Amino acid sequence: MTSLVYILMRLINGLVTMYLALPLYSIYRRTTRRFYLFWSIGFVLYGVSIILRIPSIDTRTPTPLGMVAYVMLLAGLTLILAGIGDLVNRLRSILLSALVLPAILGVMMVLGREWTDFGLFVALAPYVFIAASLVVIKVVWKPDINLLIAGWVNIMLLNTGYIYQLINEGFVDFAMTFTKVFIYMGMTAPGFSFLVDDLTRFLMGGMPEEYFEKPRGALTLVTLQDPQREKEVRWIRERAHGNSRKGVRTVLVILYDMIMPADIGDEQAENLYFVRVIQGGRGSLNTFEERIMVMNDDLNQLDILFTDIINFSKNNYVPCEILLYNLSQMILTHGWRRVYSFLISNLSQLKASNVNFTCFYYPEIHENSTDIKIFERMADAIITQ
Protein backbone atom coordinates (compact mmCIF):
# COMPACT_ATOMS: atom_id res chain seq x y z
CA MET A 1 0.00 0.00 0.00
CA THR A 2 1.26 3.45 -0.90
CA SER A 3 2.58 5.35 2.11
CA LEU A 4 0.61 8.50 2.89
CA VAL A 5 3.94 10.17 3.67
CA TYR A 6 5.19 9.41 0.16
CA ILE A 7 1.98 10.79 -1.35
CA LEU A 8 2.26 13.95 0.74
CA MET A 9 5.94 14.47 -0.18
CA ARG A 10 5.21 14.08 -3.92
CA LEU A 11 2.18 16.36 -3.72
CA ILE A 12 4.20 19.07 -1.95
CA ASN A 13 7.03 18.64 -4.47
CA GLY A 14 4.60 19.12 -7.37
CA LEU A 15 2.77 22.07 -5.80
CA VAL A 16 6.01 23.89 -4.91
CA THR A 17 7.28 23.34 -8.47
CA MET A 18 4.07 24.83 -9.92
CA TYR A 19 4.05 27.70 -7.42
CA LEU A 20 7.52 28.83 -8.53
CA ALA A 21 6.05 29.57 -11.96
CA LEU A 22 4.03 32.51 -10.58
CA PRO A 23 6.94 34.79 -9.52
CA LEU A 24 8.90 33.77 -12.64
CA TYR A 25 6.00 34.89 -14.83
CA SER A 26 5.72 38.09 -12.82
CA ILE A 27 9.41 38.81 -13.51
CA TYR A 28 8.77 38.14 -17.21
CA ARG A 29 5.98 40.74 -17.23
CA ARG A 30 8.28 43.28 -15.56
CA THR A 31 11.48 42.69 -17.53
CA THR A 32 10.08 41.25 -20.83
CA ARG A 33 12.94 38.72 -20.84
CA ARG A 34 11.47 35.74 -22.71
CA PHE A 35 13.46 33.09 -20.87
CA TYR A 36 11.44 33.82 -17.70
CA LEU A 37 8.28 32.97 -19.67
CA PHE A 38 9.79 29.70 -20.88
CA TRP A 39 10.82 28.82 -17.33
CA SER A 40 7.44 29.69 -15.82
CA ILE A 41 5.52 27.49 -18.29
CA GLY A 42 8.17 24.79 -17.95
CA PHE A 43 7.78 24.72 -14.15
CA VAL A 44 3.99 24.44 -14.46
CA LEU A 45 4.28 21.39 -16.74
CA TYR A 46 7.05 19.94 -14.57
CA GLY A 47 4.91 20.32 -11.43
CA VAL A 48 1.81 18.83 -13.06
CA SER A 49 3.84 15.82 -14.24
CA ILE A 50 5.01 15.21 -10.65
CA ILE A 51 1.45 15.26 -9.31
CA LEU A 52 0.23 12.95 -12.08
CA ARG A 53 2.85 10.42 -10.99
CA ILE A 54 1.35 10.07 -7.50
CA PRO A 55 -0.70 6.94 -8.43
CA SER A 56 2.44 5.25 -9.76
CA ILE A 57 4.52 5.57 -6.57
CA ASP A 58 4.36 1.83 -5.91
CA THR A 59 4.75 0.63 -9.48
CA ARG A 60 7.20 0.86 -12.37
CA THR A 61 4.73 -0.50 -14.90
CA PRO A 62 3.83 2.07 -17.63
CA THR A 63 0.22 3.30 -17.42
CA PRO A 64 -1.74 5.73 -19.64
CA LEU A 65 -1.63 8.37 -16.88
CA GLY A 66 2.08 7.72 -16.43
CA MET A 67 2.64 8.25 -20.14
CA VAL A 68 0.83 11.60 -19.97
CA ALA A 69 2.98 12.58 -16.99
CA TYR A 70 6.11 11.51 -18.88
CA VAL A 71 5.24 13.63 -21.93
CA MET A 72 4.48 16.65 -19.70
CA LEU A 73 7.78 16.16 -17.89
CA LEU A 74 9.73 16.17 -21.15
CA ALA A 75 7.79 19.22 -22.38
CA GLY A 76 8.44 21.10 -19.14
CA LEU A 77 12.16 20.33 -19.10
CA THR A 78 12.42 21.21 -22.80
CA LEU A 79 10.92 24.64 -22.08
CA ILE A 80 13.40 25.16 -19.25
CA LEU A 81 16.17 24.26 -21.71
CA ALA A 82 14.62 26.68 -24.20
CA GLY A 83 14.88 29.38 -21.54
CA ILE A 84 18.58 28.66 -21.12
CA GLY A 85 19.04 28.80 -24.89
CA ASP A 86 17.16 32.10 -25.12
CA LEU A 87 19.31 33.50 -22.32
CA VAL A 88 22.49 33.15 -24.39
CA ASN A 89 20.87 33.63 -27.82
CA ARG A 90 21.32 29.95 -28.70
CA LEU A 91 17.65 28.95 -28.54
CA ARG A 92 17.46 27.07 -31.84
CA SER A 93 20.71 25.10 -31.45
CA ILE A 94 20.01 24.06 -27.85
CA LEU A 95 16.42 23.05 -28.65
CA LEU A 96 17.47 20.98 -31.64
CA SER A 97 20.14 19.23 -29.56
CA ALA A 98 17.69 18.57 -26.73
CA LEU A 99 15.00 17.12 -29.02
CA VAL A 100 17.23 14.50 -30.67
CA LEU A 101 16.78 11.86 -27.96
CA PRO A 102 12.97 12.30 -27.57
CA ALA A 103 12.68 12.05 -31.36
CA ILE A 104 14.58 8.74 -31.34
CA LEU A 105 12.34 7.52 -28.50
CA GLY A 106 9.24 8.45 -30.48
CA VAL A 107 10.45 6.48 -33.50
CA MET A 108 11.13 3.43 -31.31
CA MET A 109 7.62 3.61 -29.84
CA VAL A 110 6.00 3.96 -33.28
CA LEU A 111 7.99 1.00 -34.60
CA GLY A 112 7.02 -1.12 -31.60
CA ARG A 113 10.58 -1.56 -30.36
CA GLU A 114 11.41 -2.11 -26.69
CA TRP A 115 11.81 1.41 -25.38
CA THR A 116 11.48 1.24 -21.58
CA ASP A 117 15.20 1.30 -20.73
CA PHE A 118 15.94 3.93 -23.36
CA GLY A 119 12.95 5.92 -22.10
CA LEU A 120 14.49 6.03 -18.62
CA PHE A 121 17.70 7.36 -20.14
CA VAL A 122 15.76 9.98 -22.13
CA ALA A 123 13.92 11.03 -18.95
CA LEU A 124 17.28 11.60 -17.25
CA ALA A 125 18.99 13.28 -20.22
CA PRO A 126 17.30 16.74 -19.87
CA TYR A 127 18.61 17.09 -16.31
CA VAL A 128 22.11 16.27 -17.55
CA PHE A 129 21.67 18.67 -20.46
CA ILE A 130 20.45 21.51 -18.21
CA ALA A 131 23.28 21.05 -15.71
CA ALA A 132 25.91 20.81 -18.47
CA SER A 133 24.52 23.89 -20.28
CA LEU A 134 24.69 25.95 -17.10
CA VAL A 135 28.28 24.89 -16.50
CA VAL A 136 29.18 25.96 -20.05
CA ILE A 137 27.45 29.33 -19.51
CA LYS A 138 29.40 29.76 -16.29
CA VAL A 139 32.72 29.07 -18.02
CA VAL A 140 32.06 31.17 -21.12
CA TRP A 141 30.08 34.15 -19.81
CA LYS A 142 31.08 34.02 -16.11
CA PRO A 143 27.72 34.98 -14.58
CA ASP A 144 27.04 34.40 -10.90
CA ILE A 145 24.88 31.25 -11.26
CA ASN A 146 26.49 29.00 -8.66
CA LEU A 147 23.17 28.45 -6.84
CA LEU A 148 21.50 27.48 -10.08
CA ILE A 149 24.25 25.03 -11.06
CA ALA A 150 24.28 23.43 -7.61
CA GLY A 151 20.50 23.08 -7.66
CA TRP A 152 20.26 21.41 -11.07
CA VAL A 153 23.23 19.14 -10.43
CA ASN A 154 21.51 18.04 -7.21
CA ILE A 155 18.24 17.40 -9.08
CA MET A 156 20.16 15.45 -11.72
CA LEU A 157 21.72 13.23 -9.04
CA LEU A 158 18.41 12.76 -7.20
CA ASN A 159 16.64 11.77 -10.42
CA THR A 160 19.44 9.37 -11.29
CA GLY A 161 18.97 7.71 -7.93
CA TYR A 162 15.17 7.66 -8.38
CA ILE A 163 15.15 6.33 -11.95
CA TYR A 164 17.58 3.52 -11.18
CA GLN A 165 15.99 2.82 -7.74
CA LEU A 166 19.05 3.76 -5.73
CA ILE A 167 17.32 6.29 -3.45
CA ASN A 168 14.09 6.13 -1.47
CA GLU A 169 11.25 7.86 -3.40
CA GLY A 170 9.99 9.81 -0.41
CA PHE A 171 13.47 11.22 0.25
CA VAL A 172 13.81 12.21 -3.42
CA ASP A 173 10.59 14.26 -3.36
CA PHE A 174 11.49 15.78 0.01
CA ALA A 175 14.98 16.82 -1.14
CA MET A 176 13.75 18.13 -4.48
CA THR A 177 11.25 20.44 -2.81
CA PHE A 178 14.03 22.34 -1.05
CA THR A 179 16.40 22.13 -4.01
CA LYS A 180 13.86 23.86 -6.27
CA VAL A 181 13.68 26.80 -3.89
CA PHE A 182 17.44 27.29 -4.38
CA ILE A 183 16.96 26.98 -8.14
CA TYR A 184 14.31 29.70 -7.98
CA MET A 185 16.71 31.94 -6.02
CA GLY A 186 19.34 31.38 -8.70
CA MET A 187 16.88 32.03 -11.55
CA THR A 188 15.76 35.35 -10.10
CA ALA A 189 19.27 36.64 -9.40
CA PRO A 190 20.17 39.82 -11.36
CA GLY A 191 22.93 38.04 -13.25
CA PHE A 192 20.41 36.85 -15.86
CA SER A 193 19.27 40.26 -16.96
CA PHE A 194 20.96 43.64 -17.13
CA LEU A 195 17.59 45.30 -16.54
CA VAL A 196 18.15 45.79 -12.82
CA ASP A 197 15.85 48.17 -10.94
CA ASP A 198 18.35 51.04 -11.15
CA LEU A 199 18.52 50.90 -14.94
CA THR A 200 14.75 50.35 -15.21
CA ARG A 201 14.06 53.45 -13.10
CA PHE A 202 16.48 55.47 -15.21
CA LEU A 203 14.86 54.39 -18.49
CA MET A 204 11.40 55.23 -17.17
CA GLY A 205 12.49 58.60 -15.79
CA GLY A 206 12.42 60.67 -18.99
CA MET A 207 10.00 63.62 -19.04
CA PRO A 208 9.97 65.51 -22.37
CA GLU A 209 10.14 69.30 -22.23
CA GLU A 210 9.64 69.77 -25.96
CA TYR A 211 7.74 67.93 -28.66
CA PHE A 212 9.59 65.80 -31.17
CA GLU A 213 8.80 62.93 -33.47
CA LYS A 214 9.88 59.69 -31.81
CA PRO A 215 12.84 58.20 -33.66
CA ARG A 216 12.91 54.87 -35.39
CA GLY A 217 16.01 52.90 -34.54
CA ALA A 218 19.06 53.96 -36.50
CA LEU A 219 22.80 53.32 -36.54
CA THR A 220 24.83 56.55 -36.58
CA LEU A 221 28.61 56.94 -36.74
CA VAL A 222 30.30 60.02 -35.30
CA THR A 223 33.82 61.17 -36.20
CA LEU A 224 35.11 64.52 -34.99
CA GLN A 225 37.76 66.40 -36.92
CA ASP A 226 40.92 66.91 -34.87
CA PRO A 227 39.49 64.61 -32.15
CA GLN A 228 40.29 65.57 -28.57
CA ARG A 229 38.79 64.01 -25.48
CA GLU A 230 37.48 67.37 -24.19
CA LYS A 231 35.77 68.00 -27.52
CA GLU A 232 34.23 64.51 -27.50
CA VAL A 233 33.09 64.82 -23.90
CA ARG A 234 31.44 68.14 -24.76
CA TRP A 235 29.63 66.48 -27.68
CA ILE A 236 28.37 63.71 -25.38
CA ARG A 237 27.18 66.25 -22.79
CA GLU A 238 25.27 68.22 -25.42
CA ARG A 239 23.78 65.06 -26.90
CA ALA A 240 22.63 63.80 -23.50
CA HIS A 241 21.19 67.22 -22.64
CA GLY A 242 19.29 67.42 -25.94
CA ASN A 243 17.98 63.87 -25.49
CA SER A 244 16.85 64.67 -21.96
CA ARG A 245 14.76 67.64 -23.15
CA LYS A 246 13.01 65.28 -25.59
CA GLY A 247 12.46 62.55 -23.01
CA VAL A 248 15.00 60.27 -24.70
CA ARG A 249 17.05 58.23 -22.23
CA THR A 250 20.79 58.02 -22.98
CA VAL A 251 22.97 55.01 -22.11
CA LEU A 252 26.71 55.65 -22.53
CA VAL A 253 28.81 52.51 -23.12
CA ILE A 254 32.49 53.29 -22.44
CA LEU A 255 35.24 50.87 -23.44
CA TYR A 256 38.25 50.46 -21.15
CA ASP A 257 37.57 53.66 -19.14
CA MET A 258 38.62 55.87 -22.05
CA ILE A 259 36.16 58.35 -20.56
CA MET A 260 35.25 58.27 -16.89
CA PRO A 261 31.84 59.24 -15.47
CA ALA A 262 33.58 62.05 -13.57
CA ASP A 263 34.64 63.59 -16.92
CA ILE A 264 31.01 64.20 -17.85
CA GLY A 265 30.32 66.32 -14.77
CA ASP A 266 27.62 65.93 -12.13
CA GLU A 267 25.04 68.09 -13.89
CA GLN A 268 24.96 66.18 -17.19
CA ALA A 269 25.66 62.85 -15.46
CA GLU A 270 22.02 62.96 -14.31
CA ASN A 271 21.02 62.54 -17.96
CA LEU A 272 23.16 59.45 -18.52
CA TYR A 273 23.40 55.84 -17.47
CA PHE A 274 27.02 54.63 -17.65
CA VAL A 275 28.14 51.16 -18.75
CA ARG A 276 31.85 50.59 -18.19
CA VAL A 277 33.27 47.75 -20.32
CA ILE A 278 36.51 46.55 -18.74
CA GLN A 279 38.92 43.80 -19.72
CA GLY A 280 39.54 41.18 -17.08
CA GLY A 281 38.56 42.04 -13.51
CA ARG A 282 35.12 42.90 -12.18
CA GLY A 283 33.54 41.04 -15.03
CA SER A 284 30.54 39.50 -13.29
CA LEU A 285 27.13 40.28 -14.72
CA ASN A 286 25.74 41.67 -11.49
CA THR A 287 28.33 44.30 -10.60
CA PHE A 288 26.25 47.45 -10.27
CA GLU A 289 26.60 50.85 -8.68
CA GLU A 290 24.23 53.80 -8.77
CA ARG A 291 23.70 54.63 -12.45
CA ILE A 292 26.91 52.79 -13.30
CA MET A 293 27.11 49.23 -14.59
CA VAL A 294 30.40 47.36 -14.98
CA MET A 295 30.66 44.42 -17.33
CA ASN A 296 33.40 42.24 -18.74
CA ASP A 297 34.79 42.96 -22.21
CA ASP A 298 32.59 40.33 -23.84
CA LEU A 299 30.38 41.10 -26.84
CA ASN A 300 27.99 38.34 -25.77
CA GLN A 301 27.29 40.24 -22.56
CA LEU A 302 26.92 43.49 -24.48
CA ASP A 303 24.46 41.72 -26.77
CA ILE A 304 22.31 40.80 -23.75
CA LEU A 305 22.37 44.43 -22.60
CA PHE A 306 21.28 45.68 -26.04
CA THR A 307 18.45 43.15 -26.20
CA ASP A 308 17.30 44.17 -22.71
CA ILE A 309 17.20 47.87 -23.57
CA ILE A 310 15.56 47.38 -26.98
CA ASN A 311 12.86 45.09 -25.59
CA PHE A 312 12.20 47.39 -22.65
CA SER A 313 12.00 50.42 -24.94
CA LYS A 314 9.60 48.65 -27.30
CA ASN A 315 7.29 47.34 -24.58
CA ASN A 316 7.22 50.53 -22.54
CA TYR A 317 7.31 53.06 -25.41
CA VAL A 318 10.48 54.64 -24.03
CA PRO A 319 12.77 56.26 -26.66
CA CYS A 320 16.45 55.62 -25.96
CA GLU A 321 19.86 56.25 -27.43
CA ILE A 322 22.90 54.06 -26.80
CA LEU A 323 26.20 55.91 -27.25
CA LEU A 324 29.31 53.77 -27.77
CA TYR A 325 32.74 55.22 -27.06
CA ASN A 326 34.23 53.90 -29.19
CA LEU A 327 33.64 51.56 -32.14
CA SER A 328 37.19 51.72 -33.49
CA GLN A 329 38.67 50.41 -30.25
CA MET A 330 36.12 47.61 -30.21
CA ILE A 331 37.12 46.63 -33.76
CA LEU A 332 40.84 46.71 -32.91
CA THR A 333 40.26 44.55 -29.83
CA HIS A 334 37.78 41.97 -31.14
CA GLY A 335 38.38 42.10 -34.90
CA TRP A 336 36.04 43.56 -37.50
CA ARG A 337 34.30 40.24 -38.23
CA ARG A 338 33.21 39.70 -34.62
CA VAL A 339 32.02 43.31 -34.26
CA TYR A 340 30.25 43.10 -37.62
CA SER A 341 28.46 39.94 -36.44
CA PHE A 342 27.48 41.70 -33.21
CA LEU A 343 25.99 44.67 -35.09
CA ILE A 344 24.20 42.55 -37.71
CA SER A 345 22.57 40.42 -35.00
CA ASN A 346 21.11 43.56 -33.38
CA LEU A 347 20.38 45.68 -36.44
CA SER A 348 16.96 44.27 -37.35
CA GLN A 349 15.50 44.59 -33.85
CA LEU A 350 17.18 48.01 -33.49
CA LYS A 351 15.48 49.37 -36.63
CA ALA A 352 12.11 48.09 -35.40
CA SER A 353 12.49 49.92 -32.09
CA ASN A 354 12.73 53.43 -30.67
CA VAL A 355 16.41 52.95 -29.81
CA ASN A 356 19.17 54.78 -31.70
CA PHE A 357 22.71 53.41 -31.61
CA THR A 358 25.42 56.06 -32.04
CA CYS A 359 29.12 55.14 -32.19
CA PHE A 360 32.28 57.23 -32.13
CA TYR A 361 34.88 55.99 -34.60
CA TYR A 362 38.24 57.07 -36.08
CA PRO A 363 38.79 56.03 -39.73
CA GLU A 364 42.44 57.09 -39.69
CA ILE A 365 43.55 54.57 -37.05
CA HIS A 366 42.48 51.51 -39.08
CA GLU A 367 45.31 50.08 -41.14
CA ASN A 368 42.91 48.48 -43.60
CA SER A 369 40.47 51.16 -44.73
CA THR A 370 38.11 48.57 -46.21
CA ASP A 371 37.35 47.26 -42.72
CA ILE A 372 35.87 50.54 -41.55
CA LYS A 373 34.13 51.10 -44.91
CA ILE A 374 32.00 48.04 -44.14
CA PHE A 375 30.63 49.74 -41.04
CA GLU A 376 30.15 53.05 -42.82
CA ARG A 377 27.95 51.30 -45.39
CA MET A 378 25.85 49.85 -42.56
CA ALA A 379 25.26 53.27 -40.96
CA ASP A 380 22.07 55.23 -41.53
CA ALA A 381 24.00 58.46 -40.99
CA ILE A 382 27.58 59.64 -40.48
CA ILE A 383 28.22 62.79 -38.44
CA THR A 384 31.46 64.62 -39.13
CA GLN A 385 32.25 67.75 -37.13
CB 175 within 8 A of CB 154: yes
Whole-angstrom Cα distance, residue 25 to residue 37?
Answer: 6
CB 44 within 8 A of CB 18: yes
Which is it for strands 292-296 and 287-289: parallel, antiparallel or unpaired? Answer: antiparallel
- Residues 89-106 have a mean pLDDT of 76
Report the pLDDT value the prediction gives residue 283, as an integer from 0 to 100: 39
How would you class 227 by CB atoms within 10 Å of its CB: exposed for 0-12, middle for 13-18, buried for 19 or more?
middle
pTM: 0.60
What strand order describes the sheet that includes 287-289? 287-289, 292-296, 272-278, 249-255, 320-325, 355-360, 219-223, 381-384
Report the pLDDT value the prediction gives residue 244, as an integer from 0 to 100: 86
pLDDT of 358 over the 90 cut:
yes
Compute the mean pLDDT over every residue in the chain, rounded to the nearest whole number. 81
Instruction: For 46-76, write each residue's pLDDT tens digit.
Output: 999 999 998 887 776 778 888 899 889 988 9
Percent of the chain with pLDDT over 70: 85
Instruction: For 292-322, write each residue's pLDDT tens digit.
Output: 888 878 887 788 788 878 887 887 788 899 9
Q: Which residues make beta-bridge pairs with 381?
A: 220
Report the pLDDT value the prediction gives residue 10, as an integer from 0 to 100: 92
Measuring CA to CA, how many Å separate 244 from each of 249, 270, 297?
Answer: 6, 9, 28
- Residues 360-371 have a mean pLDDT of 86
Whole-angstrom Cα distance, residue 303 to residue 87?
Answer: 11
pLDDT of 285 over the 70 cut:
no
Q: What DSSP assignment string belongs to 58-114?
A: T--S--HHHHHHHHHHHHHHHHHHHHHHHHTT-HHHHHHHHHHHHHHHHHHHHTT--
C-alpha dihedral sign at 334, 339, 345, 346:
positive
pLDDT band at 193; cut points 50, 70, 90: low
Is the peptide bond prior to 271 cis by the omega test (within 30 degrees of 0)?
no
Whole-angstrom Cα distance, residue 52 to residue 372?
Answer: 60
CB 218 within 8 A of CB 381: yes
Report the pLDDT value the prediction gives residue 375, as an integer from 0 to 100: 92
Domains of the chain in sequence order: 4-191 (1.20.1070), 197-384 (3.40.50.300)
- DSSP conformation class of 131: H
Whole-angstrom Cα distance, residue 118 to residue 72?
Answer: 18
CB-based contacts of 327, cutoff 8 Å, min separation 6: 221, 339, 359, 360, 361, 375
Whole-angstrom Cα distance, residue 38 to residue 95?
Answer: 12
pLDDT of 329 over the 80 cut:
yes
| CA neighbours closer than 13 Å in the CB half-sphere of residue 309 | 30
pLDDT of 228 over the 80 cut:
no
pLDDT of 236 over the 50 cut:
yes
